[in-house]
Structure 1
């Protein structure tokens, strides 16, 4: 033991600190997984804001429908996809397993399910655009179905990543609580 005012403890040269600086692997994994989930949540918020702005613009008629197309049916339930992100954000600080489980289940229900429904809803329009080169809905001059499919591809990857990393985080938290119970 050292003190600020006194000499160093006998029998140590100060190089015996390496073993005390190691962090348990599940804590390292938890920190890295939380970081990945936070990054994906930020990307999800950007996607959510884009869809929410389209819905808001068309609802309040801020632009004509020629500039910003009416939202597809799937976009309205997708707006609920903010809830799983909020729940996972609430689960992170105190490693709350129940919030994380609810977040994972609601991500499938409010995030992935509307995207799958949207892919099916927009498929005939995309098929018509591909076969005949005709688009009837536009978002700032671009085909609405093309823009929304691009957004959906990114959103599916983001939500799949969130669910995957949440499951791995859940496993890390569960392993650490099981180790504590064994002791």
Structure 2
């Protein structure tokens, strides 16, 4: 092996480093997708804290704690899907643990849990507020929103606010599932290559 400006080992021209420096493709795929999955989980946490802020009024009411500033916001009562979606945060711990230990079964659990507790409640929200959003989007210009059945909060269409949350959530969960699947594929190809040797 040759070093820059230094002595060269007899029997080599210094180009053999190309063979030694090659990293198997499944290790590269695994490393890249682990990093990307961690970013997705970070954005999942951000969404969770946004949801927790929305649910804080209801949680404080249940704990019989009165904070005037929060009560003045008149936050609408939460629906059941909001609490179910919050359970999806526990799946992130399963996903991080699976990624750290390269465990295929745990990554499968992460994916199933994310679909059940993350994607399904958001799909329910999408369907639940569809009529409100459609009515708001097809509202004629200059029409009075107050005279319609569209639910407004702080002067904004409530369904449209949820649609913004859901669209971001679908992207975060979709990419999380995609990167988790890539990790499973990479880990399986690694075990296949070990078996063939």
Q: Which runs of 4 or more aligned residues in structure 1 lie more than 4 Å from their structure 2 counterparts after TM superposition?
A: none
Which of 125, 148, 159 is residue 162 of structure 2 equivalent to? Answer: 148
CA deviations on 1:72-107 (whole Å, 9 max, x unpaired) are 332111011112211110011120111101111111
1:20-39 superposed matches below 5 A: 20-39=20-39
Q: Classify the secondary structure of the residue corresponding to 1:47.
A: helix
Q: Classify the secondary structure of the residue corresponding to 2:87.
A: helix
Q: May I ask how many residue pairs the two structures share in their alignment?
A: 178
Aligned-pair CA distance for 1:58: 3.1
Partners in 2 of 1:106 and 1:180 — Cα distance?
30
Task: Supply the RMSD in Å over aligned alpha carbons.
Answer: 2.3
Q: Which moved more, 1:140-149 or 1:15-24?
A: 140-149
TM-score by length of 1: 0.85
- Structure 2: 5+ residue runs without aligned partners? 62-66
Are residue 93 (structure 1) and residue 100 (structure 2) matched?
A: yes
Q: Classify the secondary structure of the residue corresponding to 1:10.
A: coil
Are residue 105 (structure 1) and residue 112 (structure 2) matched?
A: yes
